[in-house]
Amino acid sequence: MDGITEKTAIEGSKIEFKKVSAHFGASVTGIDVSKPLSAADHQALSAGLAKYEILVFRDQDITAQNLMDFGGSFSELTVHPFSPNDDNNPELIVFDNKEGNPPFSTDVWHSDETFRLEPPMATMLCAKIVPEIGGDTMFSSMSAGYESLSQKIKDLIEDMVGVHDLGPFKRLFGGTTEGRALLLDYGNRYPLVAHPIVRIHPDSGKKVLFVNPQFTVHIEGLTQRESDHLLDILFHQAVIPEYQYRHHWEPNTLVFWDNRSVQHYAVHDYYPQRRKMDRVTLKGTVPVGPAGPSVFLEDYLAQHDNSEDGVDKFGGHRPLRQFDRENPDL
């Protein structure tokens, strides 16, 4: 090992990892993704994903079925509630962006589907047709983002939870009566979730920062103003160049990213050129951190009463009144 390349230590696997960025990310050689994975290769890739957070596989001329098989060997595949799913295989998302079909608002830092109680453990994206210029995907390591916070901020957020909602998908329903009814229905199917802000990665044991500007709307127990400012500090960790890897797509490149430890941003700079990608999403588990496991916000509030300091009782805003100061016991 020279610090850049690493042969897997798993016996029976020829897989080799080569780092693509300072803090995270590796390209993988010694594997044909279209073939069933040996147990040794599977073990090597699982260990590689936990360590490198993103795995890049080049020159993999695979079918959508190959992609589903490859993804499905790591976890059950999930169906996205809002994306354009393939008619025959709802677990397969085909993004075919071209004139008349601009990409959805994925040009914001996020981790996929954190509005779920069990957000996906990982996502796989395979490039089929790429624009001549642009269309890169940016990734940012949230283990590096967490580590570089000051100890005072780490201590502050250790037991905090972030509230996640449907984010930009709420806009899909429009302002009609029918749209509002549908949004209400989705709101019931995907209630607000309280995820630990500091998440412990279940495989690597690393602490990662688990908030993102697409879906995290509030920090529980803080006033709105306090929450906005602290979230702004935490969201900024994703935009620090040293913790990023910018992936330039070539056809038949597959990227397998760990949704538990990275955020990503699809650069929206190619429309109306065509960009066609296949995606599968791998089911995850309930996040766990020092603040405990993720729960629905409703359950969190039932267990944590913040009403005494007025934060919940008064909707996140409550100037201290003179009357209160003079009558502290009322």
Element (H, E) at 183: helix 177-189
Question: Radius of gyration of the chain from Cα atoms?
Answer: 21
- Buried b / exposed e over 176-193, threshold 16 CB at 10 Å, is eeeeeeebeebeeebebb
Name the minimum Å distance from CB 264 to Fe ion.
Answer: 6
Name the minimum Å distance from CB 112 to Fe ion.
Answer: 5
Residue pair 106/266 in contact (Cβ under 8 Å)? The answer is: yes
Instruction: Check the CA dihedral 54-60-64-69 and report its sign.
Output: negative
> Distance from first CA to last CA of the chain, Å, rounded?
67
Instruction: Specify the residue, 53 or 112, whose C-beta has the smaller distance to Fe ion.
Output: 112
Which one of 105-113, 188-196, 207-215, 223-231 is the stretch in contact with Fe ion (CB under 5 A)? 105-113
Q: Name the catalytic one among 80, 247, 264, 275.
A: 264
Give the neighbor-by-neighbor strand order of the sheet with 193-196. Answer: 216-219, 161-164, 193-196, 295-296
Helix (H, G, I), strand (E, B) or coil at 216: strand
Name the minimum Å distance from CB 199 to Fe ion.
Answer: 18
Instruction: Specify the residue, 112 or 278, whose C-beta has the smaller distance to Fe ion.
Output: 112
Check residue 220 for interaction with Fe ion (CB under 5 A). no
- List the x/- string, 109-138, binding to Fe ion by CB under 5 A: ---x--------------------------
Name the minimum Å distance from CB 125 to Fe ion.
Answer: 9
Instruction: Specify the residue, 112 or 258, whose C-beta has the smaller distance to Fe ion.
Output: 112
Active site residue 264: yes
- List the x/- string, 81-100, binding to Fe ion by CB under 5 A: --------------------
Q: Name the catalytic one among 41, 69, 80, 110.
A: 110
Instruction: Specify the residue, 25 or 221, whose C-beta has the smaller distance to Fe ion.
Output: 25
Which one of 107-115, 167-175, 176-184, 248-256 is the stretch in contact with Fe ion (CB under 5 A)? 107-115
Angstrom CA distances, 211 to 43, 182, 202, 234, stand at: 29, 27, 17, 7
Q: Which amino acid is at 37?
A: L
Which one of 93-101, 104-112, 239-247, 250-258 is the stretch in contact with Fe ion (CB under 5 A)? 104-112
Parallel/antiparallel/unpaired status of strands 292-293 and 288-289: antiparallel
Active site residue 112: yes
Angle at 178 between CA 176 and CA 180, to 5 degrees: 70
Residue recorded with tokens 């702004």: 232
What does the block give as tokens for 246? 């910018």
Please report, as residue ranges, which positions from 182 to 201 form the binding site for Fe ion (by CB under 5 A): none
Name the minimum Å distance from CB 245 to Fe ion.
Answer: 15
With CB under 5 A as the rule, give the number of residues binding Fe ion: 1
Name the minimum Å distance from CB 169 to Fe ion.
Answer: 12
Peptide bond before residue 272 is cis, with ω within 30 degrees of 0: yes
Residue pair 297/191 in contact (Cβ under 8 Å)? The answer is: yes
Q: Name the catalytic one among 112, 165, 258, 278.
A: 112
Which residue sits closest to Fe ion, CB atoms considered?
112
Chain contacts with Fe ion (rule: CB under 5 A): 112
What residues are labeled active site? 110, 112, 264, 279
